[in-house]
């Protein structure tokens, strides 16, 4: 496997960063998870725009332009002969000293990995996930804006650990007011009486690229969609529920906290959303 690392393509065994890199020491950096479908990098420009916004928010100057990052991302896929893959683009603060100060890091580190990913077995896309609500709360937006896709994922990791302890593959995370924010790695959507609902970013949800695609799909298929303050009750009593994410794509949810959602099976609107999404991934983006 070839890894892009600071302007060079190196074998994975040689792809190394310093122990003094602040991305490792403090989670100081930003990243994007991107998908390649049939030789098409899905919504690459949107991913790179979000990377730029995340970097600007933490005062990290990207060492490459958007065009250069796009080329490096596509070339990483080409170097590995991939047509379908998960791509991880990471920019760290770079090598510095043991202090917190980012100004001790003169040069950011950039690396890109393109490989395979399979978050959930096929049967869950057909039958739906059974998920739970975990005790760990989503970080308050005043402490860390959810729009920043930073390398510090400990909050999400704790939620993922708790989900596993409860026997679930994914979990709902609430904010400090008790409203649904998102899942540990996915955005959440419900459908009730023909309307699609999702928590707003102000409640702690990441503005996911796949999440944004759902708004376009809703318009295409003629289903109203709204951002709302969502509680667990709203999910328990929904007709349908599904999660979205770059890795997860669009996956139905059959149960939350032991309660069946709707019929306990993926519903008709979820099926329409999923069908539209699978069409779009092959045409919306950049060909490698």
Q: Does 129 fall in a domain? A: yes
H or E element, residue 30: strand 29-37
> Percent of the chain at pLDDT above 70?
100
Lookup result for tokens 């709302």:
228
How far is CA 219 from its chain centroid?
22
Residue 119 sits at the vertex; the CA angle it makes with 198 and 82, to the nearest 5 degrees, is 110
Q: Does 45 fall in a domain? A: yes
CATH number at 74 reads 3.30.470.10
The reply to whether 106 and 128 lie within a common domain is: no
Residue pLDDT, tens place only, 59-87: 999 999 999 999 999 999 999 999 999 99
At 142 the three-state DSSP class reads coil
Give dist(CA 227, CA 138) in Å, integer: 18
CATH number at 205 reads 3.20.10.10
Q: Is the pTM of this model over 0.85?
A: yes
Mean pLDDT of 46-55: 98
The reply to whether 83 and 185 lie within a common domain is: no
At 93 the three-state DSSP class reads coil
Number of domains in the chain: 2
- In 3D space, the residue among 261, 242, 267 whose CA is nearest the CA of residue 252 turns out to be 242
Q: Which two tokens stand for residue 49?
A: 């725009």
The reply to whether 127 and 105 lie within a common domain is: no
Catalytic positions: 149
Residue 27 clears pLDDT 90, i.e. is over it: yes
Residue 29 clears pLDDT 90, i.e. is over it: yes
Q: Does 253 fall in a domain? A: yes
Q: Does 250 fall in a domain? A: yes
Mean pLDDT of 206-215: 96
Residue pLDDT, tens place only, 228-287: 999 999 999 999 999 999 999 999 999 999 999 999 999 999 999 999 999 999 999 889
The reply to whether 244 and 214 lie within a common domain is: yes
Lookup result for tokens 């890199």:
21
Q: Does 88 fall in a domain? A: yes
Task: Work out the end-to-end distance of the chain between its first and last CA atoms, rounded to an integer number of angstroms.
Answer: 17
Q: Does 285 fall in a domain? A: no
Whether the CB-CB separation of 20 and 97 falls below 8 Å is answered with: yes
Give dist(CA 45, CA 41) in Å, integer: 9
Q: Which two tokens stand for residue 165?
A: 């302890």
Q: Domain ends where: 115, 138, 167?
A: 115
Q: Does 288 fall in a domain? A: no
Domain span holding position 242: 122-280
Whether the CB-CB separation of 11 and 1 falls below 8 Å is answered with: yes
The reply to whether 263 and 163 lie within a common domain is: yes
The reply to whether 92 and 70 lie within a common domain is: yes
Whether the CB-CB separation of 46 and 209 falls below 8 Å is answered with: yes
Residue 202 clears pLDDT 90, i.e. is over it: no
For residue 190, report the phi and psi dihedrals to the nearest 5 degrees.
-120, 165
The reply to whether 140 and 220 lie within a common domain is: yes
At 145 the three-state DSSP class reads coil
Residue 124 clears pLDDT 90, i.e. is over it: yes
The reply to whether 185 and 205 lie within a common domain is: yes
List CB contacts of 69: < 8 A, sequence separation 6 or more: 48, 51, 62, 89, 110
Would you tell me how many other CB atoms lie within 10 Å of the CB of residue 279?
12
Question: What is residue 119's predicted lDDT score, i.e. its pLDDT?
Answer: 78
Q: Does 175 fall in a domain? A: yes
The reply to whether 152 and 263 lie within a common domain is: yes
Q: Domain ends where: 63, 93, 115?
A: 115
**Position 219 confidence tier, pLDDT thresholds 50, 70, 90:** very high
Q: Domain ends where: 70, 86, 115?
A: 115
The reply to whether 142 and 276 lie within a common domain is: yes
The reply to whether 173 and 257 lie within a common domain is: yes
| CA Rg value for the chain | 19
Question: What is residue 262's predicted lDDT score, i.e. its pLDDT?
Answer: 98
The reply to whether 236 and 199 lie within a common domain is: yes
């Amino acid at each position: 496997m070839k890894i892009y690392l600071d302007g060079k393509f190196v074998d994975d065994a040689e792809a190394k960063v310093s122990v003094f890199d602040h991305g490792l020491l403090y989670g100081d950096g930003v990243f994007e998870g991107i998908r390649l479908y049939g030789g098409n990098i899905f919504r690459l420009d949107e991913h790179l725009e979000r990377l730029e916004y995340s970097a600007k928010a933490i005062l990290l100057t990207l060492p490459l332009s958007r065009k250069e990052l796009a080329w490096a991302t596509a070339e990483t896929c080409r170097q590995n002969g991939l047509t379908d893959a998960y791509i991880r683009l990471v920019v760290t603060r770079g090598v510095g000293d043991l202090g917190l100060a980012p100004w001790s890091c003169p040069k950011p580190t950039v690396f890109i990995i393109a490989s395979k990913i399979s978050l959930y077995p096929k049967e869950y896309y057909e039958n739906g996930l059974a998920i739970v609500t975990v005790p760990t709360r989503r970080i308050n937006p005043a402490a860390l804006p959810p729009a920043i896709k930073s390398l510090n994922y400990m909050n999400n990791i704790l939620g993922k650990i708790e989900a596993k302890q409860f026997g679930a593959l994914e979990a709902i995370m609430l904010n400090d007011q008790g409203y649904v924010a998102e899942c540990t790695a996915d955005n959440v959507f419900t459908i009730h009486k023909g309307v699609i609902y999702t928590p707003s970013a102000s409640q702690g949800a990441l503005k996911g690229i796949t999440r944004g695609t759902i708004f376009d799909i809703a318009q295409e298929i003629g289903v109203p969609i709204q951002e709302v303050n969502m509680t667990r009750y709203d999910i328990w009593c929904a007709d349908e529920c599904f999660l979205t994410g770059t890795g997860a794509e669009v996956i139905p949810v059959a149960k939350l906290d032991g309660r069946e959602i709707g019929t306990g099976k993926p519903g008709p609107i979820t099926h329409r959303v999923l069908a539209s999404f699978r069409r779009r991934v092959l045409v919306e983006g950049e060909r490698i």
